[in-house]
């Protein structure tokens, strides 16, 4: 690696808002670091690493096509790797036992600062062999379907807001984006309702209309208007949400 030039990195993360937040945070913590590319799945990440030959790759553990572990195995020894992970503390122990750099999701500025300092100290050294660490991490990796969505990165003006799904009253499709409505207000995410429907816990979030998914725990009551149309009233909210005919069977026992 030629370190007469500024260090470079590739970010591989399938949540665009989180990738953008990481990019901004790195710019503040490590101004000399140049982000050569962003990828949204493992295949794109491999192509970006082949093309740009970065000093560092930030790899989401759970990406489409190829996981971060798969990518790390293929690029071992070619660049330093820091994993992006929402793992619990048991899995974090596997990172630390293997001496692997990691960034927790949602992003913690303090933890990211530690990772940045560790990477800075290693940047001129040959990237470590990760075989044993990757084996440990693979053993910790969850199997089967992805866990239900627990939190969301949403745009609120120029800021990125972290919202837990328990705070959400409902999601509403709005032109090219999705509105996230909480008791505190509204924010915007790039995920579609279809994507959300696949990721949310179906026992807590029901689609009630082609343009709305509601948190069941936020429903105050269900009523019909003079024309027989079903409406939902939410706790502490003035607006009502229409329920399409195809979803009305969800409320027969309410």
* Each residue's pLDDT tens digit, 160-181: 778 889 999 999 998 778 999 9
pLDDT over 80 (residue 188): yes
Residue 244: the pLDDT is 92
Give me the mean pLDDT over the 17-28 stretch.
Answer: 92
How big is the chain, counted in residues? 254
pLDDT band at 93 (very low <50, low <70, confident <90, very high): low
Residue 121: the pLDDT is 92
The burial of 96, by beta-carbon neighbours within 10 Å (0-12 exposed, 13-18 middle, 19 or more buried), is given as exposed
pLDDT over 90 (residue 11): yes
* Each residue's pLDDT tens digit, 120-152: 998 989 887 777 777 767 766 554 455 677 888
Residue 143: the pLDDT is 47
Q: Could you tell me whether strands 80-85 and 151-156 are parallel, antiparallel, or unpaired per DSSP bridges? A: unpaired
* Each residue's pLDDT tens digit, 24-79: 999 999 999 999 999 998 989 999 999 999 999 999 988 887 888 889 888 888 99
213-238 burial: b if 16+ Cβ within 10 Å, else e: bbbeebbeebeeeeeeebebebeeee
Residue 167: the pLDDT is 93
Q: Which CATH class is domain 151-251?
A: mainly beta
Give the other-Cβ count within 10 Å of 191's Cβ. Answer: 21
pLDDT over 70 (residue 96): no
Average pLDDT, the chain: 85
CATH 2.70.150.10 fits 8-140, yes or no: no
Q: Where in the chain is the domain with CATH 3.40.50.2300?
A: 8-140
Cα first-last separation, the chain: 64
Residue 142: the pLDDT is 52
Residue 229: the pLDDT is 86
* Each residue's pLDDT tens digit, 223-250: 888 787 899 999 988 889 999 988 888 8
Q: Over pLDDT 90: what percentage of the chain?
A: 40
CA dist., res. 144 & res. 149, Å (int): 15
pLDDT over 80 (residue 97): no
Compare 97 and 7 and report the one with higher pLDDT.
7
Q: Where in the chain is the domain with CATH 2.40.50.1020?
A: 151-251
Give me the mean pLDDT over the 72-95 stretch.
Answer: 78
Residue 98: the pLDDT is 60
């Amino acid at each position: 690696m030629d370190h007469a030039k500024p260090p470079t990195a590739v970010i591989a993360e399938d949540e665009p808002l989180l990738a953008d937040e990481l990019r901004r945070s790195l710019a503040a913590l490590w101004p000399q670091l140049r982000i050569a590319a962003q990828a949204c799945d493992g295949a794109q990440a491999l192509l970006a690493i082949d093309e740009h030959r970065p000093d560092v790759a930030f790899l989401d553990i759970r990406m489409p096509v190829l996981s971060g572990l798969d990518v790390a195995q293929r690029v071992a020894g070619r660049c330093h790797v820091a994993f992006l992970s929402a793992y619990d503390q048991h899995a974090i122990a596997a990172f630390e036992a293997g001496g692997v750099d990691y960034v927790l999701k949602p992003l913690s500025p303090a933890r990211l600062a530690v990772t940045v300092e560790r990477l800075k100290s290693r940047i001129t050294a040959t990237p470590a062999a990760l075989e044993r660490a990757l084996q440990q991490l693979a053993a910790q990796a969850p199997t089967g379907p992805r866990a239900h969505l627990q939190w969301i990165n949403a745009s609120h003006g120029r800021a990125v807001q972290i919202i837990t799904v328990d705070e959400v009253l409902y999601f509403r499709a709005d032109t090219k984006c999705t509105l996230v409505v909480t008791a505190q207000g509204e924010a915007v995410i790039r995920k579609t309702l279809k994507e959300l429907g696949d990721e949310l816990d179906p026992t807590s979030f029901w689609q009630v209309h082609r343009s709305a998914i509601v948190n069941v725990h936020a429903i105050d009551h269900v009523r019909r208007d003079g024309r027989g149309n079903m409406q939902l009233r939410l706790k502490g909210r003035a607006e009502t949400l229409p329920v399409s005919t195809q979803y009305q069977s969800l409320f027969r026992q309410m």
